Amino acid sequence: MQTAEIRRRFLAHFENAGHTVVPSAPLLFDDPNLLFVNAGMVPFKPYFLGQETPPWDTATSVQKCVRTQDIEEVGKTTRHGTFFQMNGNFSFGDYFKAGAITHAWSLITSSVDDGGLGFDPDTIWVTVLHSDDEARSLWKEIAGLPDERIQSRGLLDNYWHMGVAGPGGPASEIYVDRGPEFGPDGGPVVDEDRFLEIWNLVFMQEEITNVRAKDQFDVLGDLPNKNIDTGMGLERVAYLLQGKGNLYEIDEVFPVIEKASEISGRTYGKDHADDVRFRVVADHVRSGLMLMGDGVTPGNEARGYVLRRLLRRAVRSMRLLGYDDPALPELLPVSLDRMKASYPELEADFPRISQIAYAEEDAFRQTLGKGTQIFESAAIAVKDSGGTTLPGEQAFALHDTYGFPIDLTLEMASEQGLAVDEEGFRSLMAEQRSRAKADAKSKKGAHADTTVYRAALDANGPTDWLAYTDLTTESRVIALIAGGDSVPAIPAGSIGEVVLDRTPFYAESGGQNADAGVLTWDGGRAEVLDVQRPVRGLVVHQVRVLDGELTLDQQLEAAVDPEWRLGARQAHSGTHVVHAALREVLGPTALQSGSYNRPGYLRLDFGWNSALSPDQLHQVEDVSNRALRADLPVSAQIMSLPEAREWGALALFGETYGEDVRVVEIGGPWSRELCGGTHVERSSQIGTLVITSDGSVGAGNRRIEALTGIEGFDYLARERDVVRQLTDILKTQPDEVPARVRDLVERLKSAEKTAERMKAAQLLGAAGDVAATAKDVNGVAYVGHHAAGAGGGDVRTLALDIRGRLRDRPAVVVVIGDAGDKPAAVVALNDAAQERGLSANQLIGVVGDKIGGRGGGKADVAQGGGTDVSAIPAALAAVEAALSA
């Protein structure tokens, strides 16, 4: 049974049982604790935590998930995969244990002809929490399982909680017996390879606190509503139903292995080391495809770094399989072909996805070249010192800076006849992981306490939000909050939070800043500093009370600053215009990946792999301003999400949308986006649009900044003033300014080159005098010279010139310059000095120790730099002392 068919059957089973089918949330879900969604219940977490009221009593989903903590283990076991899909069914105070067990048993044991998965009931085992007699009885009653196939386990295995205070409860796990060829008999408590877990049913029934460990916490009592949260691993079920040995061989993954085998000439299944590499390739290519499909672009931090690491590990694994040509253009389309059945949006978006992926591989191939040079220098240094092992810190630096895995470093070291200090490398890796875990732990529990906001919402209902239509409202204070608690009043001079029954203020969202304005009442006034939605349906204003005292139930006027709102509308509509212009000029793959706007200013991030040329930027700006001049109508409509997608509306990557969405159009289909922001009524009201910058914000992602409205006119006026000043200084016309400036710059460069040549001539002219100062140190002619004002190139030239004048005897020359208040040192030895066993590479280390730096090179010439100019005399003396020893 194909994976997509298993997915379809799961959703159909629960939809037929009355569950609402909830689409998968994007992998970039907004959760302060997570880089990516890593479990099927994550999108439902606010409902389980009581932060929001669920819109359904029961739901089902197949959630895209990514787990990154075991990337190094991918391919080595049958269990570790980066991207996976979690089937789940959820009950929010509706059915409980009996319902969950009934639904699960029916799906897994019903025949294929009847829409089930067709597992043999005699192969099913389950585990329950040792104290959960109710679950044990229900499994016997509903499924007819005998006692010996219902095994008890402790809290570590069969109790679920989030690791923080909140809901928890016993779990019951469903296992399939794969047969005696996979291990010993005795159920999952004996062997979890033979008895493979496919489904975990969580019975959320208790409120816990003081969580100290997985099995150490205190139970406060029963939850008011008992909930169900289940998770079935789609890939695990697939490889069982497809008769495969592991998740890498299922229909959605194995075709990539087949293609990798074809182009590399290696055969899967013959060599364990190669098999691991094939599996890494298949897993990481699919994971990368899904991450890029949800808007992640490669980078050096957070989510971008995870994607970069996955893609580069796939490329490196292909290299270790003997394939040195670009691999992703061969492999990524194969993964797309297998995944588009479940995620058809990938095919439509593949031009953008492939552009990002292929550019990242190209960049990594260049990085590999640079890293290889670093490795070769380190290898030469080890050999020159008589060593045979590359230090662990250098292997770690290659891994951390250039993305070299240890297996690649081991391979390269072996080619050089060297070993690698793997223990030292792994120690440094362990330190890094410990720091990462400590950081993650410090962030755990970052879920905001929304109790006070929930109480306000429950007591008064949703805020009557009028930001689309009004600038002022007559409102009543229904809640006041300070320090996380409800308060009866906020005195003058204090900052607090205010909840009104109705408001015209826009709450920050979708990249648009919150409105500014004031609240006024009889005898008082407060400045609105920020506006947020801490829970769905509730608008909260952060204010500073300027006069009087703000009290509960106070009647007041809420007024948005009209100039602020006008500037915000211009900037947000301008963002949509620039996005449409980019797509018109660059093509449909130039999709927005993020934005920010405030009055008069907009910033738009979009997927693109190279800097925009001046002509392209001019075209984007020209298309944008022509759209303004065309006075295009701007409209907004509410529709269902499927209708919006059918209509061609663009959605922002990483955003989570409800069932009904707001679609904003500018000029009809020219610009059609999902958006909750405030906008002008016609494009001409934007005023003007001036692009001020274009820059990179990571591989495959660029950022355009622009000004709108009066801010745009002010910018152009300042530019005009700069040109006017230049024409006055240069005594020329505005259109002649660029040529005159270029001429001046060329003349300045020529003068600088002349000065440099004169300076070099002076230095070299002094070479003879400096060589004459050579002193005999232990039978070696030693010259230690401080070349005041000299930079690195001049220092090297001078040192080699002096060495050339000392051919008649062993000679060591050390020259240190101080240009820019930074020491630049060169050590040069002639052949006779080297025959005495001396090495420039060793002596540069003596210099570096003194001047606060480092260096390297070969036995005849080495160079380096430092930070302490005052230590130059001490460095020269230290070399002399080393020669005397």
Residues in binding site for Zn(2+): 572, 576, 675, 679
SS3 285: helix
**Could you tell me the sign of the dihedral formed by the alpha carbons of 729, 734, 736, 738, in that order?**
positive
Other Cβ atoms closer than 10 A to 774: 19
d(CA 284, CA 360): 14
Q: Cα-flanking dihedrals φ and ψ of residue 681, to 5°?
A: -90, -30
What Å distances lie between residue 190 and 132, 185, 612, CA to CA? 20, 7, 61
Q: How far apart are CA 292 and CA 338, in angstroms?
A: 16
DSSP alpha helix (H) spans, 75-160: 97-109, 133-138, 155-158
Give the distance from CA 808 to its chain's centroid: 62
Packing angle, helices 392-402 and 422-443, rounded to 10: 50
**Pairwise CA distance, residues 558 & 569, whole Å:** 19
Burial of 590 (0-12, 13-18, 19+ CB in 10 A): buried
Compute the distance between CA of residue 164 and CA of residue 67 in angstroms, rounded to an integer: 20
Residues counted in the chain: 885
Q: Which of 872, 696, 18, 738 is nearest to 299 (CA)?
A: 696
The counts of H helices and E strands in the chain are 26, 35
Helix (H) or strand (E) holding 555: strand 555-560
SS3 289: helix
Give yes or no for a contact between 25 and 41, defined as CB atoms under 8 angstroms apart.
no
- Residues annotated within a binding site: 572, 576, 675, 679
CB within 8 A of 10, min separation 6: which ones? 60, 62, 87, 107, 232, 234
- Whether residue 505 contacts residue 466, with contact meaning beta carbons closer than 8 Å, is answered with no
Q: What whole-number distance in Å separates Cα of residue 330 and Cα of residue 339?
A: 16
Amino acid identity, residue 715?
Y
Q: List the beta bridge partners of residue 678.
A: none
Q: How far apart are CA 696 and CA 593, in angstroms?
A: 13
Instruction: Find where tokens 């906001």 sit.
Output: 453
CA 885/CA 877 separation, integer angstroms: 13
Dihedral sign from CA coordinates of 216, 220, 221, 223: negative
